[in-house]
Amino acid sequence: MIVARIFISYATPDRAVADEVSEWLRAAGHEPFLDRDLRDGISVGENWKQRLYRELREVDAVIGVVTSSFVTSNWCSVELGIADARGCRLMPLRAEGGVVHPLMQHLQYVDYDADPQQARDQVLQTVRRLDDNSGTWREGDNPFPGLEPFTAALSAVFFGRAAEAREIGSRLRTMGSTGGMLAIVGPSGCGKSSLLNAAVAPLLGSDPAWLIVPTLVPGTDPLPELARTLAITTVRVELGWSASDVRGRLEAGTDGLRRVADDLLAAGPGTPQRRLLILLDQAEELFTRTTPAGRQQFVELLRDAIAGPVQVVAAIRSEFLDDLRALPGLAGTRIETYVLAPLDREMLRDVIKQPAKVARLRLDDGLAAALVADTGSGEALPLLAFTLHQLADGLPAGGILSLSRYHDLGGVQGALARHADTTLADAVRASGLSERDVLAGLTRLVTIDETGRRARRRIRLDGP
């Protein structure tokens, strides 16, 4: 779960109001930055300009305490200008009647001077929407999805990548005025899909400057998937087009996606600079599963749309990044990269403890330390994820993730291997095949491309 970070911009004479705002934001569980705050503000001897620049790069919204002093402060205008250039959410809190800042004259104000309580409630309501848009957690569900990636529905129990999500959000906001594609790059199993779906999408989805299209995976033909996700988006803006309607519009020409995006943005509420964000997961499938004709049609639609109101963020395995850059259909398109590093040990603790806390599960003493030690590095994240799922499976709220059960499973390194052995034995009994034949059948789920890279291959259950 990501808690929005809020920067409080104010003029020195209005310090008392800024302190009040910081206190009620913090009391509500949010993370405000106030330069003179003794807890996490600017320390004695610290370069205050560099610290303010850094904070403005990382926050999700800026609350401006608008007074006459604020309007005449050059530095307050600089803070607003930096935030606005990043596409950051600006929230004007008027603390002096009738005053408007020129950089925020197009925005809706809340009047703190006239009714502090109502203004406070309005600001908190907006900030809550910025937090992570995750909804409520359903008690009794397993908070650890195992080998499956986290989805938007599981964002309430997704931890450990808040800084990365904010950085990606910041990069996308900065790119907003010039367009382009941002590729989240990393090896298989490092958490790219989870970061995209359970952190980046909810974070930006709560920002009115963005209209988010549901995540699509290319498959053999990405066009129907793109049409399906866009059709879902049309329902949200009350256009209500069917997938076949959208597909017809997409196939009308290489500007089809751009035209659909224009219609979607015109139909929905938001700022004039609002942009459509397409989430492309497992983008390596463009090279391992998609037909050449399907790939060319898809990327040509993207190229034209990216030059307009559309941005794309794609999760892709490291070894396929050069293929993406070399696509003729994306020639001239700006492609930036965000390299996803393995989780450090401290973040691994959050990955273990925080979802359990949300689900009201307790950990045996020593379990978290054992899991972190046995995982070794964030590169073993899939093994940790599987082990946690097994430990929590079937536990009700108030249940205990047991250290003895962990040892019975074989630890992080042994849990998946034991499960695989059990599953293989079950498959042999159910099919009547030998172990060798079952394992040979599994190799049909993997393919090797012309450069020797391994990739998944989907097989129909009812197929030969």
DSSP track, 129-180: HHHT------TTS-S--TTSPP-GGGGGG--S-HHHHHHHHHHHHHHTTT-E
Is the per-residue pLDDT at 65 higher than 50? yes
Give the count of domains, the chain.
Answer: 3
- Say if 152 falls within a structural domain: no
Q: Which residue from 352, 340, 385 is spatially nearest to 190, judged by alpha carbons? A: 340
Assess if residue 460 is contained within a domain.
Answer: no
CATH label of the domain that carries residue 412: 1.10.8
Amino acid type, 99: V
pTM above 0.85, yes or no: no
Average pLDDT over residues 96-104: 92
Q: Which residue range(s) make up the domain with 371?
A: 345-444
Task: Please give the Cα distance from 318 to 338 (Å, whole number).
Answer: 11
- Together in a domain, 18 and 118: yes
Token pair for 5: 């970070």
Q: Is residue 154 a part of any domain in this protein?
A: no
User: Do residues 97 and 111 make contact, with C-beta atoms less than 8 angstroms apart?
Assistant: yes
What does the pLDDT read at residue 134?
Answer: 47
Among the candidates 339, 359, 391, a domain finishes at: 339
- Note whether 213 and 302 are same-domain residues: yes
- Whole-number Å distance between alpha carbons of 196 and 313: 8
User: Does residue 185 sit in the same domain as residue 318?
Assistant: yes
Amino acid 459 reads: I
Q: Is the domain of 58 the same as that of 196?
A: no
Q: What sign results for the dihedral spanned by CA atoms 122, 124, 126, 128? A: negative
Residue 282, CA atoms < 13 Å, CB-side half-sphere: 16
The pLDDT, as a whole number, for residue 152 is 83
Last residue of a domain, one of 312, 339, 366: 339
Residue 1 has pLDDT above 50, yes or no: yes
Task: Please report, for the domain that includes residue 170, its CATH number.
Answer: 3.40.50.300
Give mean pLDDT, residues 157-173.
89
Of 303, 323, 339, which marks where a domain is finished? 339
How far apart are alpha carbons 62 and 84 in whole angstroms?
9
Least confident window among 64-68, 157-161, 442-446:
442-446
* 380-384 CB contacts, 8 Å cutoff, 24+ apart: 380/412, 380/413, 381/189, 381/190, 381/191, 381/342, 381/343, 381/351, 382/147, 382/189, 382/416, 383/412, 383/413, 383/415, 383/416, 384/348, 384/351, 384/352, 384/412
456 inside domain: no
Confidence of residue 345 (pLDDT cuts 50, 70, 90): confident
Which has more pLDDT, 37 or 117?
A: 117
Give residue 135's pLDDT band: very low, low, confident or very high (50, 70, 90).
Answer: very low
> What are the tokens at 87?
């596409």
- CATH number for position 125: 3.40.50.10140
Where does 191-279 have alpha helices with state H? 192-195, 201-205, 222-236, 243-250, 256-267
Same domain, 334 and 351: no
Q: Are residue 315 and residue 180 in the same domain, yes or no?
A: yes
Question: Quick one: pLDDT band at residue 125, thresholds 50, 70, 90?
Answer: confident
Let me know whether 271 and 184 are in one domain.
Answer: yes
As a whole number, mean pLDDT of residues 385-395 equals 94
For residues 188 and 322, state if they share a domain.
yes
CB 330 within 8 A of CB 303: yes
Q: In angstroms, rounded to a whole number, what is the distance separating the alpha carbons of residues 296 and 434? A: 43
| Band of pLDDT at residue 327, cut at 50, 70 and 90 | very high
Neighbours of 402 (CB within 10 A): 16
Q: Is the pLDDT of residue 464 over 60?
A: no
For residues 256 and 109, membership in a common domain is answered with no
On average, the pLDDT of the chain sits at 87
Average pLDDT of the segment spanning 84-96: 84
Residue 139 belongs to a domain:
no
pLDDT at 463: 56
Give the pLDDT confidence score for residue 439 in this predicted structure.
85
Is residue 12 in a domain? yes
Same domain, 166 and 290: yes
**Residues 220 and 319 placed together within one structural domain of the fold:** yes
Mean pLDDT, rounded, for 273-295: 92
* pLDDT band, residue 416 (cuts 50/70/90): confident
Verify that 99 and 240 share a domain, yes or no: no
Tell whether the torsion through CA atoms of 370, 376, 381 and 386 is positive or negative: negative
Q: Is residue 453 part of a domain?
A: no
